[in-house]
Amino acid sequence: MKRQFLLFILCLWTLTSIAGDDKKQEVDSLLKKTKELIDAGQLLPHLETAIEALNLSNAANYDDGKAKSRFYLAEGLVNLGLFKEGLKHLELIKRTNHYREKILMQSEVHRVLGRAYGGLNLYQQAVREFRLQLDLIKNLTGLKQKLSYQFTYENLSVVFDHLKQLDSVEKYSHLQLENLRDFDERKDPMRYMIVYDNLGQLYVNKGDFSKAQHYLDKAMALVKKYKIPVFFNTMQLSGNLELKKGNYKQAVAFYEKSLANQRKIGIRNGIKNSYRQLANCYREGNLDKAKADEYNIAFSRLSDSLERENREVIDQVLNQILKLKDQESATKVSKSVTVSLVILAVLIIAIAFFVWRVRHNRRLLGQKEEALQETETINKELTEQVGENKFNNLIDLAKSNNPEFLTLFTELYPQFIQALKTLDPNIRTTELEFCAMAFLNFSTKNIAEYTYVTVRAVQVRKNRLRKKLEIPSDADFNNWMRELAEKVEK
């Protein structure tokens, strides 16, 4: 019964473990797909896949899956502008063991928290999160550390730009430039271009046009040298510089190039902003009123279209979030029911095992009492046969494993010894001693204790003697020895 109970628990655990492993593999596959969708810029499918991974992680109670899927979900929500929803998931990530154990996850959570607070115009909280991230990045190594530093410096530059603290923007922009020394320009020219763009924008804002031109020229040179396909920001910033100088025609030329690049890539929100910039530039510079009106109409149309699309996307995402919350509530209820049923099953099995154990112990106790009574009866009979003193002396010799034991036993029970020798003329002295102890009704445990061997060794010896003396397997070994003696006496 005990073995059956343990086997049941083992089977239950094994089946649960196998099912759990299958679900974890499915979650990992979904997380990989989510990362691919993020890299491809497919926001809505990215969010839907992250939600699917989170639902499955909750059902499987997969801690790593919960942390990673919530992180991808939070990052997507922040990118979409749903900052408060993103913050909720970021806080839930902190409850996972994965977050507590993985420094990179802690760092990334602080990064997205900073971006969310920045989106809510809570710039001081954003700065705090990015500085907490900087403390964690110290514990990272290799490329992960360098990339984390680069993104954090850039995020801090953006926040301080909103706060109009240009000296801090300059500090973190130059830290980005210094950090670039560990990156090969040929392998990652866009990273260099982004930093040069940021420095160009900084010095445009500071009114240092010479430095602004220097860094924007460096960015432009990288575009030409490495044929970088995404360069609209460099063109836009160059247009801003010319506009600050009052050169409207040059500004328009750069803005037109920026617009063409964004149309080619398909950045619709950027296209909308370029329409407005061009409309204002054509109007304020008195360059072409018809063009200004044309771009202004295009801006209004695209703005309305994007606003409608954004509302639709946000509605879809919010519906997904509501479904997720319903699913999580259902999962919690399901888990509670499952846990209750498992506890009930284990409790029933435990009670059944306890009842069986009590009955089994009672049965064993009864058997021991019967054996004890039988031993006392046998000892009484044997004592009457040979006398109390000699019998007690015999028992003492047996218990002390004294060589004189067999000599005295042979003197007291010569017929039994002779019967054994008749059955097996070659029977050894040690075997005679063993049979004598069985005749005296010593238990297996007693024989092991008195002869200084293991219980297993005694059992092996009994089995050998059964074969040698042809003792039936269903016959009690000790009883058979006594019955042999009784047969001889008759």
Q: Confirm if 60 and 16 have CB atoms less than 8 A apart.
A: no
User: What is each CA distance from 318 to 50, 51, 116, 156, in whole angstroms?
Assistant: 14, 12, 17, 30
Mean pLDDT of 9-37: 72
Dihedral of CA 49/54/55/59: which sign?
Answer: positive
Nearest to 225 by CA among 274, 181, 192: 192
Residue 23 has pLDDT above 80, yes or no: yes
State the pLDDT at residue 49.
Answer: 92
Residue 374 has pLDDT above 70, yes or no: no
Q: Confirm if 116 and 128 have CB atoms less than 8 A apart.
A: no
State the pLDDT at residue 13.
Answer: 47
Structure confidence by residue, pLDDT tens digits, 115-137? 999 999 999 999 999 999 999 99
Distance (Å, rounded) from C-alpha 198 to C-alpha 341? 60
State the pLDDT at residue 311.
Answer: 73
Question: Per-residue DSSP letters for 363-412?
Answer: HHHHHHHHHHHHHHHHHHHHHHHH-HHHHHHHHHHHHTT-THHHHHHHHH
State the pLDDT at residue 47.
Answer: 86
Structure confidence by residue, pLDDT tens digits, 176-234? 999 988 888 888 899 899 999 999 999 999 999 999 999 999 999 999 999 999 999 99
Structure confidence by residue, pLDDT tens digits, 382-424? 555 555 788 889 899 989 989 899 999 999 888 888 989 988 9
Structure confidence by residue, pLDDT tens digits, 153-189? 999 999 999 999 999 999 999 999 999 888 888 888 9
Residue 30 has pLDDT above 60, yes or no: yes
Query: HSE of 37 in the Cβ direction (CA atoms, 13 Å)?
Result: 19
Residue spans per domain, the chain: 309-386, 387-489
Report which of residues 369 and 390 the model is more confident about.
390
Mean pLDDT of 59-87: 91
State the pLDDT at residue 372.
Answer: 46
Q: Across the chain, what does the average pLDDT equal? A: 84
Read off the tokens for 384.
Answer: 């009457």
Read off the tokens for 332.
Answer: 């919690």
Under DSSP, is residue 91 helix (H, G, I), strand (E, B) or coil?
A: helix
User: What is each CA distance from 42 to 16, 36, 121, 139, in whole angstroms?
Assistant: 35, 9, 26, 32
pTM over 0.75: no
Q: Would you place residue 367 in the very low, low, confident or very high pLDDT band (cuts 50, 70, 90)?
A: low
67-81, 325-339, 411-425: range with lowest mean pLDDT: 325-339
State the pLDDT at residue 14.
Answer: 47
Structure confidence by residue, pLDDT tens digits, 236-258? 999 999 999 999 999 999 999 99
Q: Confirm if 75 and 86 have CB atoms less than 8 A apart.
A: yes
Read off the tokens for 402.
Answer: 């004294």
Distance (Å, rounded) from C-alpha 245 to C-alpha 201? 14
Residue 314 has pLDDT above 80, yes or no: no
